[in-house]
């Protein structure tokens, strides 16, 4: 803690001296390793690290109720978005599609895409359905809405940061998460920049198990 | 305020002053077995980190907040009633390896001296589960900051809370954490909002500190507003926000605990 405080103090000085918007290297904030979550040992059943331990019931774009554990059995490409997002979310979704489209057909058909909404108020199943159509997301995609507690809990598990803004939109981080068939987070990739190569090879590897 | 003082008087009357002799005269209140709460009147709060496209002040609705941080003793009751939150049972998804490391076992605190000290080394998930078990919730960041900004009772004229907080941040963590109510009471009747531990808030992951480069996708936002802080001199608030920004919900950290909040209904 002491070292952290010294580092924080330095960051404070940086902030105060430049009089610009806050620039803090996230590594200063905590001595913990914030590197991408690494692969966990695959287990035959839902493992202890599985996101599918969350028990909340979600509603999808077809008004079907499901728990996340219903996604078990297939690798999934997951992100949290809201459909009124004009800039970031469409790019994240396009990147998820590009990852999936780069897989050989036999693998691709085994891999699902999951979009979870930050915005339970506006993202009704009908809205999610129309978003799926607009973004050309086929039956391999689940678009989910839950209540705000579920959204908070899932964001905590995935380490997504978000804040609801006045006016109804959201400020949020935009990583894409690769889940194995048991719901373990195997990889997290930048939703905007960077190549899709490593996510594609991860999914190929998961499919060959 | 009248309600608050009435409540406090009730608390003082109801709680046996067990270790009274050991406590300094100014800190004679003893922790409640069942955490007492006080009502915090509504108002407005100016977030430390403020986006230029957002209103400068956030409205705070009246709510109630635990007088004390949750103690090891209280948390033990929760773990006994919900064994899946025991140290050896908890899923690594919900807490890292440091979870409750100050205890000697799944259902043993071990050191009697920390029974009434704030429970620390608890993850956000565990804190959230405890609050729900109590029919409460974690305070939002805005609520916590708003409640914690109240001045200590009897603070000397001209003294500044920020100074007091910074002096505490400067000290190393004590090896044995003192019991709750060992620092100061603030104007709302809340103890130890600063000076004892750092506290989880429900939406700590709403802190997104944006780099100027805009290339780090771990830190961008949909609406293209940039951040500017309201009060650049408030180092103490800056440190809390920076600390929260670096947290993950499964972290169990020495010196990080929590207290619970509840909505006020119209009958309160």
Tens of pLDDT, residues A23-34: 333 333 333 333
Q: Buried (b) or exposed (e) across A136-173, using 16+ Cβ within 10 A?
A: ebeebbbbbbbeeebbbbbbbbbbbbbbbbeeebbbbb
Same domain, A23 and A115: no
Same domain, A76 and A22: no
Say yes or no: B212 contacts chain A, CB-CB below 8 A.
Answer: yes
Inside any domain, residue A184: yes
Same domain, A61 and A20: no
Mapping DSSP onto H, E and C, the string for A43-107 reads CCCCCCCCHHHCCCEEEECCCCEEEHHHHCCCCEEEEEECCCCCCHHHHHHHHHHHHHHCCCHHH
Which among B132, B145, B128, B122 is positioned nearest to B207, based on CA atoms? B145
Per-window interface: B 5-44 vs A, CB < 8 A: none
Query: Best mutation site among A30, A147, A168, A189 for testing chain B: the one with the most B CBs within 10 Å?
Result: A30
Give the tens place of pLDDT for each residue, B89-120: 999 999 999 999 999 999 999 999 999 999 99
Inside any domain, residue A124: yes
Same domain, A181 and A152: yes
Alpha-carbon gap, residue A187 to A77, rounded angstroms: 10
CB-CB under 8 Å, A21 with B228: yes
Same domain, A118 and A150: yes
Strands A162-164 and A141-145: unpaired
Inside any domain, residue A177: yes
Same domain, A138 and A91: yes
ipTM of the complex: 0.80
Give the tens place of pLDDT for each residue, B52-69: 778 889 999 999 999 999
- Greater model confidence, A4 or A56: A56
pTM of the model: 0.81
Q: Looking at the 3D structure of chain A, how many domains does it have?
A: 2
Same domain, A183 and A80: yes
Provide the pLDDT for residue B222: 41
Give the list of residues 6+ apart from residue B142 with CB closer than 8 angstroms, or none. Answer: B45, B47, B58, B60
Inside any domain, residue A46: no
Q: What pLDDT band is residue A18 in, cutting at 50, 70 and 90?
A: very low
* Range of the structural domain that residue A134 is part of: 51-207
Same domain, A7 and A110: no
Same domain, A18 and A86: no
Provide the pLDDT for residue B37: 96
> Residue B185 pairs with which residues in a beta bridge?
B191
CB atoms within 10 A of CB B33: 14
Same domain, A91 and A183: yes
Q: If you average pLDDT over residues B29-43, what whole number do you get?
A: 73
Inside any domain, residue A44: no
Closest chain B residue to the Cα of A47, Cα to Cα: B91
Query: Best mutation site among B221, B233, B245 for testing chain A: the one with the most A CBs within 10 Å?
Result: B221
Inside any domain, residue A4: yes
Name every chain A residue with its beta carbon within 8 A of the beta carbon of B215.
193
Same domain, A74 and A19: no
Provide the pLDDT for residue B210: 59
Inside any domain, residue A42: no
CB-CB under 8 Å, A1 with B255: yes
CB-CB under 8 Å, A174 with B91: no
Inside any domain, residue A134: yes
Alpha-carbon gap, residue A7 to A24, rounded angstroms: 10
**Chain B nearest CA to A185, separation (Å):** 10
Name every chain B residue with its beta carbon within 8 A of the beta carbon of A167.
223
Average pLDDT, chain B: 81
Domains of chain B: 33-263 (3.90.1580)
Provide the pLDDT for residue A28: 31
Give the tens place of pLDDT for each residue, A127-170: 999 999 999 999 999 999 999 999 999 999 999 999 999 889 99
Same domain, A81 and A179: yes
Q: What pLDDT band is residue B49 in, cutting at 50, 70 and 90?
A: confident
Residue B2 gets which letter from DSSP?
H
Helix (H), strand (E) at residue A172: strand A170-172
For residue A63, give the CATH number of its domain. Answer: 3.40.30.10
Instruction: Count Cα atoms within 13 angstroms, Cβ side, for B18.
Output: 8
Closest chain A residue to the Cα of B241, Cα to Cα: A29
């Amino acid at each position: 803690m002491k070292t952290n405080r010294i580092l924080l103090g330095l960051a404070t000085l940086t902030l105060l001296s430049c009089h610009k918007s806050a620039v803090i290297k996230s590594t200063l904030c905590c001595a913990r390793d914030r590197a991408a979550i690494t692969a966990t040992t695959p287990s035959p059943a839902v493992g202890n690290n599985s996101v599918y331990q969350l028990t909340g019931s979600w509603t999808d774009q077809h008004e079907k109720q499901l728990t996340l554990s219903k996604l078990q059995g297939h690798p999934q490409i997951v992100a949290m978005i809201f459909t009124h997002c004009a800039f970031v979310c469409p790019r994240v979704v396009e990147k998820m599609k590009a990852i999936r489209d780069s897989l050989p057909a036999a693998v691709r058909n085994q891999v699902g895409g999951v979009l979870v909404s930050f915005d339970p108020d506006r993202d009704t199943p009908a809205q999610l359905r129309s978003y799926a159509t607009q973004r050309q997301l086929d039956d391999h995609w689940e678009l989910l809405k839950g209540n705000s507690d579920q959204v908070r809990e899932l964001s905590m598990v995935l380490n997504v940061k978000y804040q609801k803004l006045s006016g109804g939109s959201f400020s949020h981080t935009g990583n894409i998460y690769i889940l194995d068939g048991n719901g373990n987070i195997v990889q997290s990739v930048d939703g905007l920049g960077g190549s899709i190569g490593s996510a594609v090879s991860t999914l190929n590897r998961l499919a060959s198990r | 305020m009248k309600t608050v003082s009435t409540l406090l008087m009730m608390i003082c009357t109801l709680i046996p002053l067990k270790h009274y002799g050991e406590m300094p005269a100014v800190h004679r209140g003893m922790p409640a077995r069942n955490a007492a709460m006080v009502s915090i009147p509504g108002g407005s709060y100016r977030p430390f980190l403020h986006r230029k496209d957002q209103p400068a002040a956030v409205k705070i609705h009246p709510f109630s907040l635990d007088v004390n941080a949750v103690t090891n003793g209280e948390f033990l009751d929760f773990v006994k009633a919900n064994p899946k939150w025991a140290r050896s049972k908890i899923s690594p998804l919900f807490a890292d390896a440091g979870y409750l490391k100050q205890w000697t076992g799944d259902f043993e605190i071990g050191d009697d001296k920390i029974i009434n000290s704030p429970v620390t080394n608890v993850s956000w998930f565990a804190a959230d589960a405890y609050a729900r078990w109590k029919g409460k919730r974690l305070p939002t960041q805005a609520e916590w900051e708003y409640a914690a900004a109240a001045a200590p009772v009897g603070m000397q004229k001209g003294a500044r809370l920020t100074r007091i907080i910074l002096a505490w941040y400067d000290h190393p963590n004590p090896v044995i954490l003192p019991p709750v109510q060992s620092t100061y009471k603030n104007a709302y009747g809340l103890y130890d909002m600063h000076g004892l531990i750092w506290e989880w808030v429900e939406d700590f992951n709403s802190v997104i500190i944006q780099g100027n480069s805009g290339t780090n996708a771990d830190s961008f936002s949909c609406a293209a507003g940039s951040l500017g802080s309201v009060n650049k001199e408030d180092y103490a608030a800056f440190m809390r926000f920076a600390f929260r920004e670096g947290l993950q919900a499964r972290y169990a950290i020495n010196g990080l605990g929590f207290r619970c909040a509840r909505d006020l209904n119209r009958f309160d």
